[in-house]
Structure 1
Amino acid sequence: MSGARVRATRKGTARRRDDILREVLAGNGEISELAARFGISVSTVRRDLQQLAGDGHIHRTYGGAVAGGRSAELTLDEKESGNRAQKDAIARAAAERVCEGDVILIDAGTTTGRLARALKGRGGLTVVTNSTIALGHLAEEQGIELVVLGGRVRRPNGAILGPEGEETLRRLTPDLVFLGADGLHARDGLSCPSLEQAHSKELMAARGREAVVLADSSKLGGSPFPYHARPGGRWTLMTDEDADPGEVSRFAADGTCEVVTVSVTAAA
């Protein structure tokens, strides 16, 4: 191969990896989806992801990759653009668990925000939240009593955090606590962008009668941030049908986590 062709091939590979990196940072890091999007083989995607991970841009998971490092924290708009169908399916399935008369807690996040949207039009509920997304969806709902946890708004993820909210939490016992996650590791728990947020999630889980983590399959096995929260006692993971079977078995292994997989096709 001539020197010019070698240089052209390298430039093409670099451009493709840049495009793949943008997809991963937007939350679209599943290997099969990347292969279909770019018209390349699964093995090529794996090599590209491995190189990007080696360069410190992303974090490899069993099913693909997620954004790596604190500097890679995505905005809400960027998070909203990834895995829309999976998030919608999980949110609808989670909403089916909510019964009239329940007191529920909705954590910050895009999938949990979709849960709040799925509850619009319902009545006889009390919703406690630290999510600016949930607040936007439910503020005008007459049939829902809305309790907003106090504090400051953390950007870019729209979580309301602070001692005021924690003090309120200690006086509540929600029937269901729905937690969001930037990544979810079977050993370490929910990956969080700050120590304050990790503490808040653990307190939320501890206060509820039942804790449910809503995480699409791209989040499983990922630890994009250095802080983690572990739900105490028994808890439920709701994910989509594309979840890697090996990851699912890791979460179910110790008997404290029930994994519920949602069919995206059936929910569409």
Structure 2
Amino acid sequence: MKTSERRTRIRDLLRTRPTSVDELAALFEVSLSTIRRDLAVLSDQGEIVRTYGGALSATPGEPTLHERETLAQAQKAAIAREAERFVRPGHMLLLDAGTTVGALAGRLSTWSGITVITSGLTSLNALADSDGVELIVLGGTVRHVSLGLIGPIAESTLRGVTADAVFLGADGVAADRGLCETTAEQAALKRLMVEQADEIYVLADASKIGRTSGHWWTALDRPWTLVTDAGAAEEALAPFYARPEITVRIAPLPRR
């Protein structure tokens, strides 16, 4: 493959999702240094934005939930397995919208004696047939791109409950700023979820670590746990390890 063709394909891939240097090197069967040179050129041309250990498009479009379901499936499954360790019998849980939290909901479908309150139609579908889980769905406006419920109706319902733990997704997560999202309504609902829960868990695959492309933020100003996958680069995780209020849990991928 010619260098120009590879760079064009990298640019087009990044328009669909953020990607790591390691993943790109494996995909195009070239060295890490070659990929870094490609990214440097694309960055200089204004086509992409470099991130810790990878890159994203300079003008990204938000992928739909169905598109996200095809991305990082093994990583999301591993994160869900690790997150499940924090669930206890009798817990009342808040589950955010999104595919990674939806993967956790799928694992909880075999549980009994827990209550789940969710703003995500993905989690609703995963738990709808579970006899052992009491399922409560927040009302509100459906955000079609993510199949999440948002707005004043969802927020009003949420103010009437408290939870043992909340499991949040995000478009990006930064150690010093919290969670970023595409819309103000998403960030507002997450802030309220954080207020109503005793324990906070953020489920984010490696592509979300250090990503700050969203303009709306949910600050996390008390202890919380980041659950990510083994593909997260050490330099990307360093700011999280440096903050005493953040616990980092790395979800190992299953051995092949």
Q: Taking structure 1 as the reference length, what is the TM-score of the superposition?
A: 0.89
Q: Is the 8 A contact 2:227 2:251 kept in 1?
A: yes
- Cα deviations by residue, 1:207-265 (Å, 9 ceiling, x for unpaired): 10001000111211111212221223110000112222222220132311111111113
Counterpart for residue 64 of structure 1: 54
Q: Is the 1:105–1:176 Cα contact (8 Å) retained in structure 2?
A: yes
How big is the shift at 1:24?
3.0
Aligned pair 1:30/2:6, yes or no?
A: no
Partner residue of 1:190?
179
1:219 corresponds to: 208
Structure 1: give runs of 5+ residues left out of the alignment. Answer: 1-8
What percent identity do the matched residue pairs reach? 42
Residue 168 to residue 255, structure 1, CA distance change in 2 (3 Å) = same
Residue 47 of structure 1, CA deviation: 2.5
Contact persistence 1:66–1:219 (CA under 8 A): no
Cα deviation code 1:148-202 (max 9, x no counterpart): 1111111211110011111111111111100001111122221201111111111
Determine the structure 1 residue equivalent to 2:79: 90
Residue in 1 that maps onto 2:221: 232
Look up the match of 1:6: none
Determine helix, strand or coil for the equivalent of 1:72: coil
| 1:41 equivalent among 14, 24, 31 | 31
Shift of residue 77, structure 1, vs aligned partner: 2.2
Matched pairs, number: 256
1:181 to 161, 164, 170: 170
* 1:114-153 equivalent positions in 2, closer than 5 A: 114-153=103-142
Paired with 1:75 and 1:253, the residues of 2 have a C-alpha distance of 33
- Give the number of the structure whose residues are more often helix, by fraction: 1
Residues in 1 aligned to 2:69 and 2:7: alpha-carbon distance in whole angstroms: 22
Q: 1:90-125 CA distances to partner (integer Å, 9 max, x unpaired)?
A: 001111221111100110111101001111121111
Counterpart of 1:249 in structure 2 is: 238
User: SS in structure 2 opposite 1:175?
Assistant: strand
Return the letter of the residue paired with 2:253. V
- Asked whether the equivalents of residues 25 and 35 of structure 2 are also in contact (C-alpha less than 8 Å), the reply is yes
Runs of 4+ in 1 over 6 A off after TM superposition: none
- Structure 2 gaps of 5+ residues are none
Aligned counterparts of 1:14 and 1:155: Cα–Cα separation in 2: 36
Deviation of the 1:146 alpha carbon: 0.8
Return the TM-score normalized by structure 2: 0.93
The separation in 2 between residues aligned to 1:254 and 1:28, in whole angstroms, is: 25
Residues 144/61 of structure 1: CA separation in 2 closer, same or farther (3 Å cut): same
Q: Return the letter of the residue paired with 1:40.
A: V
Q: 1:83 corresponds to which letter in structure 2?
A: A
* CA distance in structure 2 between the aligned counterparts of 1:113 and 1:150, rounded to whole angstroms: 18
Match of 1:189, as an amino acid? G
Q: Contact conserved, 1:191 with 1:227, CA < 8 A, in 2?
A: yes
